[in-house]
Structure 1
Amino acid sequence: MTKKQVVTLATSRPLTTLDTDKMTEFGRLNNTIEGLYTTADNGQAALALAQKVKINASKTTYTFTLWKDSYWSNGDRITAKDFVYSWQRALAPQTKAPNADLFTGIHNARKILAGKLPASELGVSAPGKFKLVVHLDHPMAELPQRLAYPLFGPQNQRIAEKYGKKYATKPQYQVYAGPFMVAAQGNTKTHWHMVPNPRYWDKQHVYLQRINVDVYNNTASMWQDYRKGRLDEVRLVSTQNIKSYQKQTAYTARPYSKMVILNYRQQGPNPSINQLLQQRLARLAISHILNRKKLGQASYGVTSLPAQGVVPAGLSRGQKGTADFAAAQPKQKTLAYQPRLAKQEWQTARRRADVKNITLSLSYLNAPYSLKVAKELRRQLTQLPGLTIKLKSREWAVNQSDGPTNTDLTLATQHAQYADPLAMLALFTSSNMANTGHWSSAAYDKLIAQASNAPSFNNRRWRTLLAAESRLMQDQGVTPLFQPASTYLVNPKLNGVQYNTVGTQSNFKEAYFVK
């Protein structure tokens, strides 16, 4: 290893909060958080702050025994009460974390989210200082994978109550359970950094002395700093750059379990548009007119994968090494490029809605990749007779959930937060906050409920999930487009970074530089 173990990374978003309950994405901050489980390098959940777990026969009660020698960065001991406080706080009405739906399945979480019970009724308790008991409404085969997500990490109640409204607004008003902590000094609007947590239980395997995170407003200055050696990682944005650098040692393509999708607004202010988009045939026409390979290549480049369904490739496999769920999805023909069929379906849908020429608004995130996707999407969609697409950008809202859709079509990206098909499929149930298009199917909801209640990853659960995905695709409740893979140039001397395909994207706990 080199003597200087300092990595410098880039971000486009400033540091706005250190409160896990207010983050929609954790980004680099996942390196400051650790929970009962962590995501191992195979994408599965591995015990972290929990020493062991005991599960009852009906698989509805998990009893965790915590390590007794785990400490917060300020020296306080991490106890079971820190988890109880954290989870109840995430569901409390005054907090209501953006990803609070992830608690659904833990006893009473659904009723708490609906405002029918106080957060104190959540099925989690601390009968001992290092004993945490979690009660479920039903078996949840995917619970360990879900609990590896940073939202389920502990929070120090004493510190939260000490600082009140100031809690987690600045580094000096927060404490950390992960391998790193945000430094209290030297942070600005364009720079913040992390240093090793001196109290971390596994600090002997933390090698970096510092993680710098610099905020960039444009890619030109980012590239300039990478070339001068001031940055250890830069993202490749243009397809030309990807072609130029893909044979270099520094080049890497990172697949991630996310899907670029198209949402439909079926209850908008224009009755004619509603009548059109409420038709399954119109949504199928939109899906069939799309050349997904070209769509991905025009934006993210050759590393992107055309959607086979709404579940990304590599997220989950069946029992005994069976097919990847994405490849097994049964209604892939609904996503096939069939322009002749698409035009026939569109003509029929237009006739039924009694419209000839129609203009649909399409919103996209104000970012280089999204704009490229939106422009190519417009080009392809306008091959449908009588269709005009009007683009409308929307600003990135840091640590805020998506609000109600205000355009007919919405270009969005959905992430799988744990390694199971349910992580994606549950997003489109009638009551899920992520279902901004408000597509609704009682039969789909029932299938998702059956899969959620399954006691293990058995073949019956697998078939239920495939049936749910089939119904979603057959109806085109949402239209999946492609699975993007981010491409980077990374300092070849940087080793030991764990790049995850699910949950949080990168773990620098055991990262180091070689000479």
Structure 2
Amino acid sequence: MKHWGFILILLLGLGLTTGCQMQSETESPSDSQGVMTKRQVVTLATSQPLTTLDTDKLTQFGRLNNTIEGLYSATGEGQAQLALAKKVHVNAAKTTYTFTLYKDSYWSNGDVITAQDFVYSWQRALAPTTKAPNADLFVGIKNARKILDGKLPATQLGVSAPTKFTLVVHLDHPMAELPQRLTFPLFGPQNQRVARKYGKRYATKPQYQVYAGPFMVAAKGNTRQHWHMVPNPHYWDREHVYLQRINVDVYRTTRQMWRAYRRGTLDEMRLVGITNIKSYEKQAAYTARPYSKMVLLNYRQLGRNPTIDHLLSQRLARLAISHAINRKQLGQDSYGNTSLVAQGVVPAGLSRGQRGTADFAAAQPAQDTLAYQPKLAKQQWATARKRAGLDHVTLTLSYLDAPYNKKIATLLRSQLQRALPGLQIKLKTREWTINRADGPANADLALTTQHAQYADPLAMLALFTSDNAANTGYWFSERYDELIAQASNAPSFNSQRWKTLLKAEGELMKDQGVTPLFQPASTYLINPKLNGVQYNTVGTQSNFKGAYFVK
């Protein structure tokens, strides 16, 4: 059968590093061997209801990533391995990727997954009527930027299906990080026949969607408070999907989650609040889960008040704010001891050098711009304020109405007002914009959290180019754009590309186009009997394909 040569190699490799746990998962796939429980049902929590099953309309995939599979899948370390693609051929110029798909991969309704399903999916994501929130990830594929700018129709995207199981991807330039990028769920296929059949109803309800991943959303029993997934009966590796059901319950408050976890009706509980973390960190169920995301402070330089714009457009003002922040204290008092002080905009552990010895985050230049130096901050602030003709300054600081964020904003306000004379900060909440990209900045300062969507420094650094939708403060540096373009055009992960990315990061930090605060690690209590979950450091956070309960 297909895929098994690859699976054998993968399991042998994993066996060297994961030991008995992997052996239990692969050699004892049934309760008859005394390892697994008969009831393989996991219950998880979410704070948001299921609003769509359309991958082109999701800003965050959450649990739904378990229903999606593409050309590549991500390993636990964020690297790329072939999934629905059997093999790939790259031309000498590294601008054309030719993928050969397996001929016996199926949708959950039994349809064969074809190359045209990828063509349809990618073109649809870029179409003006869709314009997926993460559509910038397609930039680099031939004509993607022109399509996003409205200069070409989506049908001109550089992707084609010359045969039923051959997918050809043409690039504007070499993209060393393309395999890592293609692990992101947005690059998965969509069933064109099913989409056309249901039209406007497509993906609005489970019965109007089909799935290529190990699980599918059940068509019955779903409400605004609950939805669940069951195994995809036609998934190519169905034999190694052990869970019978994944329940996802919507909770409005942390207190409700706590009650469910203590009753034993919830298998994973995120710890929110420093007291809870300290109380439970020595328990077997406790885990601190690192993830490649950064809490950032963004500046609006094109607001409604020219005087404030003049202040925040000064590099010196932004440096003053950066030097006024005690990042270690801010992270500890909000997320706890598991958070890491920012060394730059790229999170720790995201990417290493060619020989696997250098972490990009640790190598980032201009780290002195992030040092806590209150005396220097006071001097810089006084000069910037004088240049703007301001004695007293009132700035607005917005934050997303979500766990942790209000506490971070309150602590940050306190630090800045204490360190910078004449500064007053008014807090302003931002509402959730479910499955919509953030619009222009609506406050002078904005707390945001950015996730790396693939395992490469470019995943974070590209967010701050002048034409990226995530650059809501409209920071601009021609030199920075040039460096990111050079790194984007690199044919391989060579030392020159590495140096170019470091130079770009240095430009961003020297100018404080955005101010990194800290890298949080989410902390959880997890049912100790749940094994085999792949927790990712980038992209989507957890993969339950090989998960199972032991007795």
Cα-to-partner distance string for 1:377-401 (whole Å, 9 max, x where unaligned): 0000102000000000111111111
Structure 2, gaps ≥5 residues long: 1-35
Aligned to 2:153: 118
C-alpha distance in 2 between matches for 1:440 and 1:401:
20
SS in 1 for 2:309: helix
Aligned to 2:242: 207
Aligned to 1:468: 504
Cα offset for 1:298? 1.2
C-alpha distance in 2 between matches for 1:375 and 1:302:
19
Equivalent positions of 1:168-183 (< 5 A) are 168-183=203-218
- Which one of the candidate residues 80, 85, 91 is aligned to 1:45? 80
Aligned to 1:491: 527
Aligned to 2:306: 271
SS in 2 for 1:213: strand
C-alpha distance in 2 between matches for 1:50 and 1:123:
18
1:477 partner letter: G
Aligned to 2:15: none
1:235 equivalenced with 2:263 (yes/no): no
C-alpha distance in 2 between matches for 1:141 and 1:131:
21
Cα-to-partner distance string for 1:168-194 (whole Å, 9 max, x where unaligned): 000000000000000000001100000
Report if aligned partners of 2:77, 2:537 keep a CA contact under 8 Å in 1.
no
1:188 partner letter: T
C-alpha distance in 1 between matches for 2:243 and 2:175:
37
2:281 partner letter: Q
2:215 partner letter: F
C-alpha distance in 2 between matches for 1:114 and 1:404:
17
C-alpha distance in 2 between matches for 1:106 and 1:117:
13
1:250 equivalenced with 2:282 (yes/no): no
Aligned to 2:62: 27
Aligned to 2:7: none
Cα offset for 1:43? 1.6
Equivalent positions of 1:212-361 (< 5 A) are 212-361=247-396
C-alpha distance in 2 between matches for 1:43 and 1:358:
44
Cα offset for 1:322? 2.8
Cα-to-partner distance string for 1:335-366 (whole Å, 9 max, x where unaligned): 00000000000001011111010100000011
TM-score by length of 2: 0.93
- Which one of the candidate residues 442, 454, 460 is aligned to 2:478? 442
Equivalent positions of 1:321-470 (< 5 A) are 321-383=356-418, 384-470=420-506
C-alpha distance in 2 between matches for 1:157 and 1:53:
23
C-alpha distance in 2 between matches for 1:79 and 1:48:
14
Cα offset for 1:28? 0.1
- Which one of the candidate residues 116, 123, 133 is aligned to 1:98? 133
Cα offset for 1:42? 2.5
Cα offset for 1:294? 0.7
Cα offset for 1:235? 0.5
C-alpha distance in 1 between matches for 2:115 and 2:548:
32
C-alpha distance in 1 between matches for 2:65 and 2:545:
10
Cα offset for 1:88? 0.3
SS in 2 for 1:426: helix
Deviates more, 1:33-42 or 1:463-472: 33-42
Aligned to 2:541: 505
Cα offset for 1:368? 2.7
Cα offset for 1:41? 2.1
- Which one of the candidate residues 460, 480, 492 is aligned to 2:516? 480
C-alpha distance in 2 between matches for 1:41 and 1:22:
25
Cα offset for 1:157? 0.4
Deviates more, 1:38-47 or 1:91-100: 38-47
C-alpha distance in 1 between matches for 2:216 and 2:409:
38
Cα offset for 1:221? 1.1
Cα offset for 1:477? 0.2
CA RMSD of aligned residues (A): 0.5
TM-score by length of 1: 1.00
- Which one of the candidate residues 189, 212, 236 is aligned to 2:224? 189
Equivalent positions of 1:37-76 (< 5 A) are 37-76=72-111
SS in 2 for 1:145: helix
Aligned to 2:26: none
Cα offset for 1:406? 1.3
Aligned to 1:127: 162
1:214 partner letter: D
SS in 2 for 1:58: coil
Cα offset for 1:425? 0.1
SS in 2 for 1:427: helix
C-alpha distance in 2 between matches for 1:421 and 1:367:
27
Deviates more, 1:135-144 or 1:37-46: 37-46
SS in 2 for 1:382: helix
Report if aligned partners of 2:198, 2:208 keep a CA contact under 8 Å in 1.
yes
C-alpha distance in 2 between matches for 1:413 and 1:42:
21
Cα offset for 1:305? 0.5
Cα offset for 1:466? 0.1
C-alpha distance in 2 between matches for 1:331 and 1:311:
13
Aligned to 2:24: none
SS in 1 for 2:168: strand
Cα offset for 1:40? 1.1
C-alpha distance in 1 between matches for 2:292 and 2:46:
20
C-alpha distance in 1 between matches for 2:70 and 2:433:
27
1:30 partner letter: N
Structure 1, gaps ≥5 residues long: none
Aligned to 2:39: 4
1:348 partner letter: T
Cα-to-partner distance string for 1:8-67 (whole Å, 9 max, x where unaligned): 000000000000000000000000000000001232000000000000001000000000
Q: Identity across aligned pairs (percent)?
A: 78
Cα-to-partner distance string for 1:115-135 (whole Å, 9 max, x where unaligned): 000000000000011000000
1:349 partner letter: A
C-alpha distance in 2 between matches for 1:469 and 1:267:
23
C-alpha distance in 2 between matches for 1:90 and 1:395:
25
2:382 partner letter: Q
SS in 1 for 2:142: coil
C-alpha distance in 2 between matches for 1:160 and 1:298:
48
Tell me which stretches of 4 or more aligned residues in structure 1 moved more than 4 Å: none
